Structure 1
Amino acid sequence: MGVACSSPFDALGSGSMSPSMGDEDLAETPPLTVSTEIDGLSVPWDVVTAPDGTLLTGERAGRFVARLPGGAVREVAADLSDLWAQGETGLMGLALDEDFAANRILYACHGFEEGATRDIRVTSWTVAQDWSRLTPVGTVIAGFPTVTGRHGGCRILVAEDGSLYIATGDAAVGTNPQDPAGLGGKVLHVTTSGDPAAGNPDPASAVFTLGHRNPQGLARDPASGDIYSVEHGPDRDDEVNRLVAGGNYGWRPDRAGFYDESVPMTDPVRVPGAIEAVWSSGTPPIAPGGMAFLQGSQWGEWEGAVVISALRGQQLRFLRLSDDGASVVAEGKPQELDGAVGRIRSVHSQPDGSLLLTTSNRSGDRVLRVRPS
């Protein structure tokens, strides 16, 4: 177990520190307790918490599983006959409608295949009151590119006004991230009917930001209201980015006419005006699968910090932001989860201050709850 200290930032000072630190320089984090909510899963890509306390997760290969408030775990029936699950793509991001208690609407992001049509899309479903079944309602937005399933991640964040932010991968096609007309390598912002949301740089387009490689985490800072993303780098430089409408985050891998991953993650030379990352992993990358903000005084001086879940890194990483939210001033890695549960896909903050995690080890996966001791 970790050991708490009076101030995890004392040794780090207060200067800007965007690149990731070495382990020897990491600040201490509060001791944690880890418990299992659902087990026996295979790549549960995401998890949501309903107002009644039910937890719902979805396996990438195509299965919904719920844990009811009394502790019973059950499979939730759903017609996923058009699911396309290949490579990194399948049943992915989940989100509950802002008014779920009244309308029972769930949003799911997934690969889709029907006839000659293959893409990644967000669909809506209604959830039975007893959590026995999901009934499809319709497609919110479709047309996210996919070729082999690579870089086909998709995360959904529900905004305070009920609109949807959606992170999309670039499908490993070099021209996608900088194509303003395409939906790959972007963060989109749409209404629940799929129309461009208010505040988008082009009122006729769903694109909110561009120049991304494979963002798989989205979170809103509860203090500032700013939206942040975290995305996979190639063999280096995973990034946390603060999103601004119309921002270009500088991924342009179309050099020499092929998907050239030797280019910088943020390339201000070939992408004038590219916005620098708030944080970069350097080498090696940790492969971030999700992000959230730590909530509650029980986190001590880490309250309000970013928490990243890591696949390759098999860890959580805490990032304390500067007052302006533009850089990182302290970084920590809880030892209780460092390699202890394998690859961690998703992380979500809960109203009681705990975190919900999903692991991604292909078998024996779990939904976990993490609390500061």
Structure 2
Amino acid sequence: MISRPARPRTLLVTLAAGTLAAGLMGPVAPAQAAPALSVSTVASGLDKPWDVEVAPDGTLITGERSGRFVAVRPGGATRTVTADQSKLFVTNEAGLMGLALDRNFASNRTLYSCQAEKTSPGALDAGSAGPLPIPLPNTGQVINVVAWRINDDWSAATRTRTVLTNIPVNSGGRHAGCGLTAAPDGTLWVGTGDNATPSYPQSRTVLGGKVLHITTGGAPAGGTLRGTPIYSLGHRNVQGVAVQPGTGRVYAIEQGTDRDDELNLLRPGGNYGYRPDRAPFIYDESVPMTDPSRVPGAIGAVWKSGYPTIATPALEFLPTSGWGDLNGAVAISAQKGKRLVFVKLSENGQQTVGTTEALQDTYGRLRGLKLDQDGSLLVTTDNGGSDRILRVRPAS
């Protein structure tokens, strides 16, 4: 049962100000004075809500990994948005994953999802963007970017097309990715996982271990490798991509091995240095997340967690006003670390100048992030069976 409390309980949380010196690029900034936070529950009774989006009418739309879409209406009512998910492939990290609303949602009612799906035996998967140089053989499952039309009363979603296919996913669902972001220019950014397959991060033909940039029709958009939707490579497991307001810079957050979750500033064709193929046919995770010794020109992270990793699935830029010392900071969620991390960036966006943590061990594993229309931060929990959408804002 889903519920949205009529009188949500509010908890004031004082941030622990400080810097995560381990793994910072550039000088370590002094500890920041941070405001207290007000946290309330927007919706409860969810099961692993992977992502959350905000529609122009104020409705929140989330998707549980098992395949259910849930709408939370401005007046407080919640409802299941019925959809045919008979093709969905759900196991471990794979299932219904990232969501993004079309920039013209008010008129076209289009929602995009990134989801693992079962495929027909023996078939090759051909994406609408055209075949890659080496199409993947059918393995029984694949990750697709799917377009849905949501009806006006939020009661049902109708699948309209497969926007992009050929994103690989293994039978165990490990390192499936798959983050999805609609950019202000109407294009889509897709973060993918490397499937724990040694050759995928450095491959220029396979879509695993990459950040992809496509049009809503599925064609490669700006900055991609010729003939592919690949914008950057050398990644391990990217589940979040965000465009910085005012600059157009694109950042991705990815989960590290036993150390160094990374925040990366993306460059067209950039290689971010993950190469776990040190031994033939063995997925060797003892390699560095960024390894310039084996990947010449590998681009270093803007921020990294150090040891141990905290498992970082999502990022979101805070507004440039209303958040005090955190104005414009990057909010990063953590699953294993069970916290929020706020990262302040330098003016050129290439260095970290300060970090602050919040909500540690308060709500369990944190996953999806999205700014609401009032500038508050929506956060989904990822504990399974009793999950919530939280609203986080500076305390008044």
Shorter-chain TM-score: what band? over 0.9
- Aligned residue for 1:369? 391
The CA deviation at 1:296 is 4.1
Question: In structure 2, how many angstroms separate the alpha carbons of the residues matched to 1:38 and 1:110?
Answer: 23
Stretch moving more, 52-61 or 28-37: 28-37
- Aligned residue for 2:4? none
User: Contact 1:219–1:229 at 8 Å: present in 2 too?
Assistant: yes
- Aligned residue for 2:292? 268
Q: 1:137 aligns with which of 160, 174, 181?
A: 160
The CA deviation at 1:36 is 1.1
- Aligned residue for 2:147? 124
Could you state the TM-score of these two structures normalised by the residue count of structure 2? 0.88
1:82 is the counterpart of 2:87: yes
The CA deviation at 1:90 is 0.4
- Aligned residue for 1:230? 253
- Does the residue aligned with 2:271 lie in a helix, a strand or coil? coil
Compared CA separation, residues 145 and 34, structure 1 to 2 (3 A): same
Amino acid of the structure 2 residue aligned with 1:48: E
Alignment of 1:103-118 (within 5 A): 103-116=108-121, 117-118=140-141
1:51 is the counterpart of 2:29: no
User: Contact 2:119–2:142 at 8 Å: present in 1 too?
Assistant: no
Q: 1:330 aligns with which of 351, 354, 378?
A: 354
5+ unaligned residues in a row in structure 1: which ranges?
A: none
Q: 1:254 aligns with which of 277, 286, 293?
A: 277
User: Contact 1:93–1:156 at 8 Å: present in 2 too?
Assistant: yes
How large is the Cα RMSD of the aligned pairs? Answer: 2.0
Question: In structure 2, how many angstroms separate the alpha carbons of the residues matched to 1:4 and 1:113?
Answer: 44
The CA deviation at 1:128 is 0.5
For residues 61-85 of structure 1, give each alpha carbon's deviation from its aligned partner in whole angstroms, at most 9, with x where no partner exists.
1111111121111111000000001
Question: In structure 2, how many angstroms separate the alpha carbons of the residues matched to 1:71 and 1:149?
Answer: 34
Amino acid of the structure 2 residue aligned with 1:97: D
- Aligned residue for 1:210? 233
Compared CA separation, residues 26 and 287, structure 1 to 2 (3 A): farther
User: Contact 1:40–1:365 at 8 Å: present in 2 too?
Assistant: yes
Stretch moving more, 82-91 or 114-123: 114-123
Question: In structure 2, how many angstroms separate the alpha carbons of the residues matched to 1:269 and 1:198?
Answer: 29
Question: In structure 2, how many angstroms separate the alpha carbons of the residues matched to 1:69 and 1:306?
Answer: 26
User: Contact 1:20–1:279 at 8 Å: present in 2 too?
Assistant: no
The CA deviation at 1:209 is 0.3
- Aligned residue for 2:376? 354
Compared CA separation, residues 20 and 260, structure 1 to 2 (3 A): farther
- Aligned residue for 1:321? 345
Question: In structure 1, how many angstroms separate the alpha carbons of the residues matched to 2:15 and 2:236?
Answer: 36
Question: In structure 2, how many angstroms separate the alpha carbons of the residues matched to 1:169 and 1:3?
Answer: 34
Question: In structure 2, how many angstroms separate the alpha carbons of the residues matched to 1:20 and 1:33?
Answer: 31
User: Contact 1:19–1:282 at 8 Å: present in 2 too?
Assistant: no
Question: In structure 2, how many angstroms separate the alpha carbons of the residues matched to 1:142 and 1:3?
Answer: 44
- Does the residue aligned with 2:323 lie in a helix, a strand or coil? helix
Amino acid of the structure 1 residue aligned with 2:153: D
- Does the residue aligned with 1:102 lie in a helix, a strand or coil? helix
Give the count of matched residue pairs: 361
User: Contact 1:119–1:146 at 8 Å: present in 2 too?
Assistant: yes
User: Share of identical aligned residues, percent?
Assistant: 50
Could you state the TM-score of these two structures normalised by the residue count of structure 1? 0.93
Question: In structure 2, how many angstroms separate the alpha carbons of the residues matched to 1:283 and 1:195?
Answer: 39
Question: In structure 2, how many angstroms separate the alpha carbons of the residues matched to 1:17 and 1:235?
Answer: 17
Q: 2:78 aligns with which of 68, 73, 77?
A: 73
The CA deviation at 1:198 is 2.8
Moved over 6 A (4+): none
- Aligned residue for 2:309? 285
Amino acid of the structure 2 residue aligned with 1:213: R
- Aligned residue for 1:100? 105
5+ unaligned residues in a row in structure 2: which ranges?
A: 1-11, 122-139
Question: In structure 1, how many angstroms separate the alpha carbons of the residues matched to 2:181 and 2:211?
Answer: 10
